Amino acid sequence: MIYLDYQATTPLAPEARDAMLRWLDGPDGTGFGNPHSPHKFGRMAAAAVEAARDKVAALFPPGGRVIFTGSATEALNLAIRGSGKGGSVSVSAIEHAAVLDTAEALGTAHILNVSKEGQCNTAQDVPNDVRLIAVMQVNNEIGTIQPTIDWHRKAKANNALFLIDAVQAYGKIEVTGADMIAVSAHKLHGPKGVGALWVRDGIALEEQITGGGQEAGLRSGTLSPALIAGFGAAAALAKERMEADAAHVEALCGRARELFADWTLNGSEDARWHGNLNLRKDGLDVNRLMSECRNVMFSAGSACASGSGRPSHVLKAIGLSDKQAKSSIRLGFGRYTTLEQLEVAAQIINAAAGDQGV
Ligand code: PLP
């Protein structure tokens, strides 16, 4: 089996798994304490949480704090719903549903356009009453890198807060400045079920989950030391390996472009994370392709959108027709993908596409 769906999730790093095991102890161990208990086991668990928090924070800009959540979706909800009421929330047309649907649920969403290359540029107006702008750093479907530094500047000029969904960027490229940044452990070889919101010092948020008042009153609920320790280990590893991982991915991407030379690339050639290739062949029946390539795991869009039968909102936003969007595939690769795996996968996918006569 060959896994080429790194934007959906990434394999757990062995180092992250090892860091977690200590905090999954049974009754004979010492690692099962509640990190909010004042006794010894509790304090040990709390120390593990704080050590991991430092490692997670080390990948963010200075001058902010890290709030652990159960996912990036929850972090984005806290940022969008908790940062104010009234006023418009401007979001790019290619945001993940966690941003788009949340902004729309508030009834004040304003959609920012993107170019054919998948770039959301700042030469467009935002509403006068804008209170929050959200633009993701790396797109999960087409890999395009957005001009977040420019958007941060524009948000400031409009007295709005700026939120980055950095789920696909964090641990891979430097995360740029913002007022709030949401991330998820499972996209950087950490465990599923834990995310974080980074919040710039001085920005007040309103809690969205009430209860025991954990995370400085901003996110109630007992933290999971095991998941957080895994997240911390994954973040530390990503920091250490950032250059090596990026070089590996770039080499894979170069070879993939040769292997898929007769496919059309969706999104920008240059402003992109190289671990993502969204490719199309006009006339391709992607469902048939996927069922004929069962030993290669890739996607027809985002993991959340595929299966809905709807054409991708991201591909539609960059100007593709429904037909073109539905004849596109997403290949995602990274740290643990080998050149050989990529070559075998390309052979299988190209042969199956060839059988369709496209
Ligand atoms: N934002 C982006 C860009 C994503 O790719 C994802 C996951 O696919 C999310 C948000 C949601 O992350 P989580 O799975 O942690 O809720």
> Do strands 109-112 and 328-332 pair parallel, antiparallel, or not at all (unpaired)?
unpaired
| Residues 206 and 276 grouped into a single domain | no
Q: CB neighbours of 291 closer than 8 A, spacing ≥ 6?
A: none
| Residues 39 and 86 grouped into a single domain | yes
Range of the domain at 275: 2-8+242-355
| Residues 209 and 102 grouped into a single domain | yes
Using a 6 Å cutoff on CB, does residue 188 contact ligand 1? no
Q: How far is CA 347 from the centre of its chain?
A: 29
Q: How far apart are CA 236 and CA 197, in angstroms?
A: 17
Q: How far apart are CA 34 and CA 41, in angstroms?
A: 7
CATH number of the domain that residue 84 is part of? 3.40.640.10
Residues, the chain: 358
CATH number of the domain that residue 287 is part of? 3.90.1150.10
Which positions of the chain have pLDDT values less than 50? 304
With beta carbons less than 8 A apart as the criterion, state whether 35 and 51 touch: no
Tokens representing 67 are 């709030």
Q: Which of 191, 214, 237 is the last residue of a domain?
A: 237
| Residues 287 and 249 grouped into a single domain | yes
Only one residue has tokens 């025991």, namely: 212
| Residues 188 and 262 grouped into a single domain | no
| Residues 288 and 208 grouped into a single domain | no
Looking at residue 280, what is its pLDDT?
Answer: 97
| Residues 36 and 62 grouped into a single domain | yes
| Residues 108 and 214 grouped into a single domain | yes
Looking at residue 233, what is its pLDDT?
Answer: 99
Tokens representing 146 are 């957005």
Number of domains in the chain: 2
Using a 6 Å cutoff on CB, does residue 332 contact ligand 1? no
140 Cα: distance to centroid of ligand 1 (angstroms): 8
Q: Which of 237, 259, 285 is the last residue of a domain?
A: 237
Looking at residue 310, what is its pLDDT?
Answer: 83
With beta carbons less than 8 A apart as the criterion, state whether 194 and 71 touch: yes
3-state secondary structure of 234: helix
Using a 6 Å cutoff on CB, does residue 168 contact ligand 1? yes
Looking at residue 308, what is its pLDDT?
Answer: 63
Pocket test for ligand 1, best of 184, 228, 276 (most atoms within 8 A of CB): 184
For the chain, the straight-line distance linking the first and the last C-alpha, in angstroms and rounded, comes to 25
Q: Spell out a b/e string for 332-350, using b for 16 or more CB atoms within 10 Å of the CB, else e.
A: bbbbebeeebbeebbebbb
| Residues 94 and 219 grouped into a single domain | yes
Tell me the pLDDT tens digit for each residue of 265-280.
Answer: 999 999 999 999 999 9
Q: How far apart are CA 45 and CA 222, in angstroms?
A: 11
184 Cα: distance to centroid of ligand 1 (angstroms): 7
Q: How far apart are CA 141 and CA 164, in angstroms?
A: 16
| Residues 270 and 210 grouped into a single domain | no
Only one residue has tokens 């429904």, namely: 322
Pocket test for ligand 1, best of 96, 120, 173 (most atoms within 8 A of CB): 96
Using a 6 Å cutoff on CB, does residue 71 contact ligand 1? yes
Q: How far apart are CA 131 and CA 140, in angstroms?
A: 25
- Give yes or no: 304 in active site: yes
